[in-house]
Amino acid sequence: MGALIWIGAAVSLVGLVGLVASILRVSAARRANLSDEELRNAIQRVIPLNLGALFLSVIGLMMVVIGIFLA
């Protein structure tokens, strides 16, 4: 079950990287002084990345917890 813990940690880390990437994209769009409509469109394009990264983080943490319980 040690492998499940490490795989879960890796999946969670990939999700964390995705979250940081979405934060950086939104902050770059905010610094670009875009109009309200362009900023809204830029944020809407980042939402799927953000949700996917959150999903990966949750799944990875669940894998870690299951691995700890089974160990």
Percent of the chain at pLDDT > 70 equals: 100
54 found inside a domain = yes
The number of folded domains in the chain is 1
60 found inside a domain = yes
24 found inside a domain = yes
User: How much is the pTM?
Assistant: 0.86
Domain that holds residue 23: 2-64
38 found inside a domain = yes
Q: Express each pLDDT in 25-54 by its tens digit.
A: 999 999 998 899 999 999 999 999 999 999
Annotate 10-23 with three-state secondary structure: HHHHHHHHHHHHHH
Tokens of 3: 């492998």
Instruction: Please give the average per-residue pLDDT across 6-20, as a whole number.
Output: 97
Q: Is the C-alpha dihedral spanning 27, 28, 32, 38 positive or negative? A: negative
Q: Which residues of 38-64 are buried (b: 16+ CB within 10 A; e: fewer)?
A: eeeebbeebeeebeebeebbeebeebb
